[in-house]
Amino acid sequence: MSQHRSAASAMIVIVVAGVIAAAYFMGRSDERAGRSFALANPAQAAESPAISPVKARPRDSYFPNSEDLLPDEMRVIACGTGMPTARPSQAAACFLVELGNGDKFLFDIGTGSAERIAALQIPYNFLDKLFLGHLHTDHFGDLASLFVGGALMGRQKPLRVWGPSGEKPELGTKYAVERMREMVTWDLAGRRGLVDERGYHIEVEEFDYKAENKVVYKENGVTIRHWPAIHSLDGPVSFSLEWNGLKFVFGSDTYPNKWFVKYAKNADLAIHECFIAVPSLIEKFKFTPQTALAVGTQVHTPPEGFGKVMSLIKPRMAVAYHFFKDFDTTASINDRIRSTYDGPLSLAQDFMVWNVTKDEIRVRMAVVSEEVWPPPASEKPMPPDPSRRIPFSKEIAGGKLDVLEVLQPIYDEINEKYGTNEKPD
């Protein structure tokens, strides 16, 4: 009997000790998050909020649409940070800038980035301003998706696009956007008379790529400037956005150049390409040494070059992007950057978030859902004008199956619920 009592007593001691230890460590964890919970005695441990907190704690991640943006705050979200070849974990170049005055701006719209933008659940009426650094598809390949998809998901105004000219008209932004618009001719014609058509328009403002630090946008207290970049051909540019004493700089793609060093100084957040290291181009992409050196050091900026540029402009936070951020490539990129730069640094990946104020720069990752639906429109949609529909030919219309008996109940249901008087064709 005494042995059983001893064993039971030992078990009680172990359980109590475990509860106290768990409460201690959870209390320490909450204390690090800005909250601590004291235990009066072990008997109260099971009821302590340290065991099962019911109130929100400060988050280490960003959940879209769950936080206010302060009137003096800037939030930047990476919607694409990868390389020219597409892959699921990283879209191509795209960065979203959100300001405390309500303004939002997109810089580049590379392949795959429209999906990242959708995940943020921002009403598309506020995503109508796009600035293109150059015309490689990994920097504007999702333009059609933003144009058509954005209108379908609630943008009820034209998409506005700013981009550089080229050495010849056919190498400029206006030519590219107009041909993109022609490419989706069938798509837009098939939507006439079926949807709210206000968003299916695009406006282009092409500017001189050779101009230095020229103002290209100035509205609502926001000033955006551009200057030349060096990449592939004449035409690429870099941008700065200044608002409320804060400065955001986006290099797009560029070889290290004197204009960036001159005009990117005093940046709070400076984003500049940092291509994957040359050895990785040979080992991972199977480039020849000659191609790897040409692409990795002459067409793009290598990590060592990125560090050199940042050591000259000294931003509050340097952001490196345009590489595949993998377990076996990131360390090398970091080490190579650190050989020439020792300041604040972010190695960007998709859904990385920077909250910028005059006092601090907070860096986190966004947590998003993959099953998103279009966010609520910021304005009431307009019903379509059926008279604008393009009819089927007699041959195609004649192939319709008579399913009126199953369609009519659907129309009856909707007409009754919403007070409409629609009829099937």
How far, in whole angstroms, is CA 52 from its chain's centroid?
Answer: 34
Query: Is the predicted pLDDT of residue 37 greater than 60, yes or no?
Result: no
The pLDDT of residue 51 is: 66
The pLDDT of residue 373 is: 93
The pLDDT of residue 25 is: 36
Task: Compute the average pLDDT of residues 283-310.
Answer: 96
Query: Is the predicted pLDDT of residue 6 greater than 50, yes or no?
Result: no
Query: Is the predicted pLDDT of residue 167 greater than 70, yes or no?
Result: yes
Cα–Cα distance between 47 and 3 in angstroms, integer? 32
49 pLDDT tier (thresholds 50, 70, 90)? low
**pLDDT tens-place string over residues 246-258:** 999 999 999 999 9
Which candidate, 308, 362, 342, 269, places its Cα nearest to that of 60? 362
86 pLDDT tier (thresholds 50, 70, 90)? confident
54 pLDDT tier (thresholds 50, 70, 90)? confident
Backbone angles phi, psi at 290, to 5 degrees: -65, -45
More confident residue, 57 or 146: 146
The pLDDT of residue 12 is: 41
Q: Any idea which of 16-25, 89-98, 284-293 has the lowest mean pLDDT?
A: 16-25
Which CATH superfamily groups domain 62-366? Ribonuclease Z/Hydroxyacylglutathione hydrolase-like (3.60.15.10)
The pLDDT of residue 377 is: 86
More confident residue, 387 or 86: 387
The domain limits of the chain are 14-58, 62-366
More confident residue, 93 or 376: 93
Task: Compute the average pLDDT of residues 97-109.
Answer: 98
Cα–Cα distance between 111 and 90 in angstroms, integer? 10
422 pLDDT tier (thresholds 50, 70, 90)? very high
Burial class (CB within 10 angstroms; exposed 0-12, middle 13-18, buried 19+) of 195: middle
Cα–Cα distance between 1 and 13 in angstroms, integer? 18
Q: Mean pLDDT, the chain, as a whole number?
A: 90
Backbone angles phi, psi at 354, to 5 degrees: -120, 120
The pLDDT of residue 286 is: 95
The pLDDT of residue 408 is: 95
**pLDDT tens-place string over residues 202-235:** 999 999 999 999 999 999 999 999 999 999 999 9
What is the three-state SS of the chain? CHHHHHHHHHHHHHHHHHHHHHHHHHHHHHHHCCCCCCCCCHHHHHHCCCCCCCCCCCCCEECCCCCCCCCCCEEEEEEECCCCCCECCECCCEEEEEECCCCEEEECCCCCHHHHHHHCCCCHHHCCEEECCCCCHHHHCCHHHHHHHHHHCCCCCCEEEEEECCCCHHHCHHHHHHHHHHHCHHHHHCCCCCCCHHHCCEEEEEECCCCCCEEEEEECCEEEEEEECCECECCCEEEEEEECCEEEEECCCCCCCHHHHHHCCCCCEEEEECCCCHHHHHHCCCCCHHHHHHHHHHHCCCHHHHHHHHHHHCCCEEEEECCCCCCCCHHHHHHHHHCCCCCCEEECCCCEEEEECCCCEEEEEECCCCCCCCCCCCCCCCCCCHHHCCCCCHHHHCCCCCCHHHHHHHHHHHHHHHCCCCCCC
Task: Compute the average pLDDT of residues 291-312.
Answer: 97
Query: Is the predicted pLDDT of residue 44 greater than 70, yes or no?
Result: no
Task: Compute the average pLDDT of residues 272-293.
Answer: 95
